[in-house]
Structure formats: C-alpha cells, structure tokens
Structure 1
Amino acid sequence: MTNPPNILLIYTGGTIGMVKDYKTNALKAFDFSQIVDNIPELQQLNCHIKSISFKEPIDSSNMNIKYYVDIVELIEKNYTKFDGFVILTGSDTMSYVSSAVSFMLKNLKKPIIFTGSQLPIGDLRTDAKENLITSIQIAASQEDGKPVLAEVCLYFEYKLYRANRTTKISAEQFEAFTSMNYPPLAESGVHLNFNKHLIHQPKNKHDELIVRKQLANDIVILKLFPGIRKEVVQSILEIPNLKGVVLETYGSGNAPTSKSFIKLLEDAIDKGIKIVNVTQCAGGSVIQGHYETSVALNKIGVINGKDITTEAAIAKLMHLLNKNLTVLDFKFLFEKSMRGEITEVE
C-alpha cells in the first residue's frame, strides 16, 4: 500500500484567502495553516496537506516577476518533499502568472495546480471551497504510485486546463476562465474525469527539475485597432531598451498593409526587437501569410504566434529574451511548442 501523497498549498494572495468578520463586516485574511479545521471536507481526501503563505498577501493587480520567482523558489525548495502543489493567487492575473511558471520549470514531473475564486472563502455562496478541494484532489491524484499530472495547470469551476492555454473571460461568473484552443485536461462532476490523451507525459523520466529564474520584462503589448495612428505605433516601438512586442492583430494575423506601418515594424526588427504576431480573437490561430494583409509581416521577420494566448506569449518572451539566442534560433523556439502552449500541426 502506497503512502498518501503530500500536497503543499501556497497562498500568495487574492480573493480566495479572505473571510468576513461578521462583527465588523470587514474582510480579513484566512489562516491557511488551519485549513483542515476550517474545511473539514478535506479530511476525506487521501493526502497530507501543508501550507505556506506569503508574509504579505499580494493582490493580483500587483503581481510582477519578483513574485513569479518567489513562487518558483518555494516549489524548488519543497520539490522533493511534496508530491503536488496547489498555488492560490488572485484570478485577475492568474493566467499570466501560471503561464510564466510553466516556462520557468523544465522537466517537471509533479502537478502544479493554480486556483482561486470569485468570492472570498468565507462568503456564504463562495466558489472557493469547491475550487480548493478539487484542486487538492487533482494534485494528489496518482496511478501506480505516480502523479496523473506532470504540468502546470489551472483549475476553476469544474474544469482543469493547461495553464498556459487559459484566459480570464469573466469578472462576474464563477466560470471565469476558458481555454479556447485546447480542451480541458479534466472535468469535475459526479466523478473526476481526466482526459488522459490530452495530458503531457514527461519524455525523460530521469531528468532533474531545471528552474529558470531570469525573466525579461522589457516587453509591450501593441493592440491594433482601425485608425491607430502612426505616431502611436512609433512611440511604442521606440521605447528605450524595448526587447519584445506582442502584436495583437486582427483575425488570422492580419494587419494594415500601409508602407509606413510595415516600415516601423521592420526598423524595430532590424534593431533586434522581437515582434510576435498574436490574434485578438478569443480562439483560433494566426496563419501568417494566408491573406495579403499578413504577407508583409512574414517577409520582414515577424514571429508567427500561431494559436498562443497573449498571456502565454508574454511569458514565453520573458523566458526566451534572456537566452542570448540568434534571430533564427529565437524564431524557431518561439514558433514551436515548449510547454504545450502551441498546437503543433503534424
């Protein structure tokens, strides 16, 4: 008989960690060290749970790469002691944070599940308990003594997604996230059902975890809209020390064909700035060169983001820009799947 899995719960901040003081009606921080006492249902799970909380909880709006590194260092420090990790963060930036963490960890062989809630854990109608309980259950799920999952995921409202495929789509609905270009890895109903054919399987089972903590944030998102002025585009592309641009284009990667616009992009690329073409659409893929309106982008060296999300594109740029790669190697690595963030057509 195998020992029950050990799960580490890491609370960084966010709505999920708030409870109401009914005397004052004010929200205060939930004590996750007493989680089993406060949520007795967790005793029904066949696992041991320990928790660590940031000294000062971080609102999701204040998330930055320093906290990404803090999260990853907690995982690194405790990686051999625990069989799975559940990370609680604010939902507003959860797709950005979890996407970044997926690139910061190579050769991952244990589940890392991000979750949170739309209502505080102490609220009468909260979604926090279900999200938390099921995330822990997923992190503890094993077959033949090995974790069912070995990737960074995001669980919310009965669905488990690959984290770097997600986008937050609602500020009010409990079903706050979606993954338009990749199906759920698991769905929770009467039973917890894993879609095993969609789950990443580690290729080299003996490779040790590699942690990448160097991230570049000299990056900008440039979202196109009809009538955007040349001066606006120029001012963005001339930001001092700019290294990368996520260019949010129309449809399947289309952009204005005016010579002045293309020249601005070309000049930026010539200066070494990496420009990635990502669609503004919620779902679907960039097919660069498919229409005349994206042929010029191909010619000047714009990188094809394919069906990557904006959140994952930012994370991937942060990861790759510090690697001192040649132009060709950078383009090759960005356009291929590194952590399951892009659909590769066989």
Structure 2
Amino acid sequence: MKKILLIATGGTIASGYTEEGLAPKIAAAELLQYVEGYREFCQVEVASPFSLDSTNVCGKHWLELTALIERRYDDYDGFVICHGTDTMAFTAAALSYLVQNSPKPVVVTGAQKPIDLPITDARTNLLDSLRFASEDRAHGVNIVFGGNVIAGTRAKKERSKSYNAFSSINYPSIAMIRDGRVVFYIEDKDRLSGSVTFYHELNEGILLLKLMPGMDGMVLNRLFPYYDCVIIEAFGVGGLPEYGRMPFYPEIRRWIDAGKLVMMATQVTHEGSDMEVYQVGKAIKEEFHLMETYDMTLEATVTKVMWALGQTKEPERFRRLFYETINHDILLKEL
C-alpha cells in the first residue's frame, strides 16, 4: 500500500465562513475525515507548512513547499498538495521547475467549494488526487481537478466558479479519473533519467505587462529600475505598436543594453505566439534577438523565468534553460 504525504496549504477546500468571507479554517487531518475511501489504497500522513488564501501565495511559499518535499522525499511514495484555486496553476508550474525529474508524483489539487459543504467538488478532487498519487505510473508535478490530470506547466484556471475550472492548454491531459479508475492518455515515466533534482533559487524581479491599445512605451521607462525582466503580453501572435510619445523600440534597446530581459508572449490562450508572421513582430524580434514564449502558458512562462534567472543571468545560458522542455511545458521552440 502506497504511503502519501498530504500537504495542506489552505485554500477554498479548507475554508469556512467568517463575517469577512471565506477563509482557511479546516486542519489537514480534518480534510481526511471527508474521504475515508482512501484507506482502501493508501496510507496518508499530513503536514501543514502554512494556511493561506492562495491569493497570498508567492515565491517564498513555492520554495518552502520544495524544501518540505525534499526533506520528506525518501519517506513517501507520493505527495498531494491541497491549495487554493486562484494561484494553483502558478504553484504547479513553479514546482515543475523546482522539483524536476521526479519518479514520484507531486499532485496539486483544491476545490471551488469547501470540503464540509453538503454539495462540493472538494471530496471528489481530494480522493482522486490521493488515488492518482498512489498509481505506479504517476510521476512529476500534475494538477488533479474535476476528474482531469493536467501537467503542472499546462494548467490554467478558465472558470471562476464551475467545478471544471481548469483546462490543459496546448497539450493533452495526462489522464482522466472516472469511477475510481485512472485512465492514462500519456505514459512517459520510462523516459525519466537520473534522480530527482531540487532547486532552491528564484528571481522574483519579473513583471508581466499586458499590452493594450494606446499604451505608450514610456511604461517600460518607469518600470526599468524595479525589474530584471519584463514579459510583454502582446496581441495575437506577437508584436509591438509604433505609436506614442515614446515608442517601445528605444525602451527595449535600453533594457537589452543594460543586460535586462524583454520577452514576448501572447494574450491569446490557445495556439501560442509566432512573431515571424507580421512585420510588427518580425522586425523587433530580429533587431533585438528577443525571446518569445510560443505555446507556453503565461503561468509557466512567469515561473520558468523566475527559476531560470535564479540559476543564471548570463543571456545564452538563460536562453538554453528557458527553451529546454520541462514537464511538457513547450513544444514549439527555437533550436
């Protein structure tokens, strides 16, 4: 029987009603009382490094979770993290970079309704997660939610209230869970080589800037002192406008000359960027040798930049790290 560590971090799944609204209240051990069926296939122990609404979760918490998993890695067959849904995709992506090449599963789950309500998705999601973490074929970081298993770098919360809140973006789901059975669509555990690797550094000096019609390049001038990298969410397949009192081009030159990163992404959820298509993208990409994110999610992009910049600021090494495929995060990329 597999031995699983349940790591409770708060979130809606563990929340109760207060005068100010929902807030985490239910302890880790109490969560298990609502899913007694797990005893048929695994043993579970609990840990609770923090208890937060996931709006308050950030890089230091990802590092704390990584350190906890590393300390307890040899003691368990798998890990299930209960987490709020709002930043769950960021946490799953971050852990994909901080815990690499793991033959043991690290599952992130949560719920849209607290686990103690009569009607809730929490009990199903938690039991499914424990079941998936107990599978011999499971490995690496994944989100389990609404019966779907999604690679940690491919998840996005697309619905704010519905039980099917998360989708797998530009990549198939890893598996589905129905009626207590796990059906795998992608099985690649045999491709793992070497041992698990843990990382302990992140650079949080990153800004995600959403382009909007009429935005002036002056915004980059004002952000310059505060960030090491700006990721610009452009329109469509990628490009930058040429209007404004201060166009984007000279500001990008200033960032690049100072050794800072400017990266191009797209606001469009599906199918990714391709800056070579239009003049507004191709010219600026060629002039500044800009990197783009292709089919990656924004959550994976942000956390991968944090991770890669935590390892190096040398431009070519950073480029190699960023374009290395990790946990299915990028298919289309520069060679």
Q: What's the TM-score, normalizing by structure 2?
A: 0.91
Counterpart residue type for residue 120 of structure 1: P
SS of match in other structure, 2:6:
strand
Aligned match for 2:291, one of 292, 300, 303? 303
SS of match in other structure, 1:322:
helix
Aligned match for 2:240, one of 230, 233, 255? 255
CA displacement at 1:102 relative to structure 2: 0.8
Aligned match for 1:166, one of 130, 155, 178? 155
SS of match in other structure, 1:321:
helix
Counterpart residue type for residue 98 of structure 2: M
Residue 119 (1) aligns with residue 107 (2):
no
**1:270-281 equivalence runs, <5 A:** 270-281=257-268
Residues in 1 aligned to 2:313 and 2:44: alpha-carbon distance in whole angstroms: 41
8 Å contact 2:207–2:229 — kept in the other structure?
yes
Cα pair distance change 1:57/1:232, threshold 3 Å: same
Q: Please name the residue that 1:196 is paired with.
A: 186
SS of match in other structure, 1:87:
strand
Aligned match for 1:225, one of 204, 212, 221? 212
Q: Please name the residue that 1:48 is paired with.
A: 43
Q: C-alpha offsets along residues 285-320 of structure 1, whole Å, 9 cap, x if unaligned? A: 111222112112312121121111111111111111
8 Å contact 1:278–1:307 — kept in the other structure?
no
For structure 1, the 5+ residue unaligned runs are 143-147
* Percent of aligned pairs sharing the same letter: 27
CA displacement at 1:333 relative to structure 2: 2.5
CA displacement at 1:231 relative to structure 2: 2.4
Q: Please name the residue that 1:32 is paired with.
A: 28
SS of match in other structure, 1:281:
coil
Counterpart residue type for residue 6 of structure 1: K
Q: Please name the residue that 1:85 is paired with.
A: 79
**1:120-199 equivalence runs, <5 A:** 120-142=114-136, 148-190=137-179, 191-197=181-187, 199=188
Aligned match for 1:12, one of 5, 9, 14? 9
Q: Which moved more, 1:279-288 or 1:6-15?
A: 279-288
Aligned match for 1:235, one of 208, 222, 236? 222
**1:312-323 equivalence runs, <5 A:** 312-323=300-311
Residues in 2 aligned to 1:232 and 1:113: alpha-carbon distance in whole angstroms: 39
Counterpart residue type for residue 159 of structure 2: S
Counterpart residue type for residue 232 of structure 2: L
Residues in 2 aligned to 1:28 and 1:315: alpha-carbon distance in whole angstroms: 25
Residues in 1 aligned to 2:196 and 2:169: alpha-carbon distance in whole angstroms: 29
Q: Which moved more, 1:252-261 or 1:116-125?
A: 252-261
CA displacement at 1:239 relative to structure 2: 2.9
Cα pair distance change 1:28/1:261, threshold 3 Å: closer
Residues in 2 aligned to 1:49 and 1:293: alpha-carbon distance in whole angstroms: 54
Q: Please name the residue that 1:104 is paired with.
A: 98
Q: CA RMSD in A?
A: 2.2
Q: C-alpha offsets along residues 206-257 of structure 1, whole Å, 9 cap, x if unaligned? A: x232211111001101111111123223212x233x2111110111122224
Counterpart residue type for residue 315 of structure 1: T
Cα pair distance change 1:322/1:225, threshold 3 Å: same
Counterpart residue type for residue 63 of structure 2: V
Residues in 1 aligned to 2:297 and 2:248: alpha-carbon distance in whole angstroms: 24
For structure 2, the 5+ residue unaligned runs are none
SS of match in other structure, 1:318:
helix
8 Å contact 1:20–1:27 — kept in the other structure?
yes
Residues in 1 aligned to 2:114 and 2:262: alpha-carbon distance in whole angstroms: 39
CA displacement at 1:7 relative to structure 2: 0.6
Residues in 2 aligned to 1:201 and 1:113: alpha-carbon distance in whole angstroms: 19
Q: What's the TM-score, normalizing by structure 1?
A: 0.88
> Between Structure 1 and Structure 2, how many residues are aligned?
328
Residues in 2 aligned to 1:262 and 1:28: alpha-carbon distance in whole angstroms: 46
Residues in 1 aligned to 2:11 and 2:30: alpha-carbon distance in whole angstroms: 18
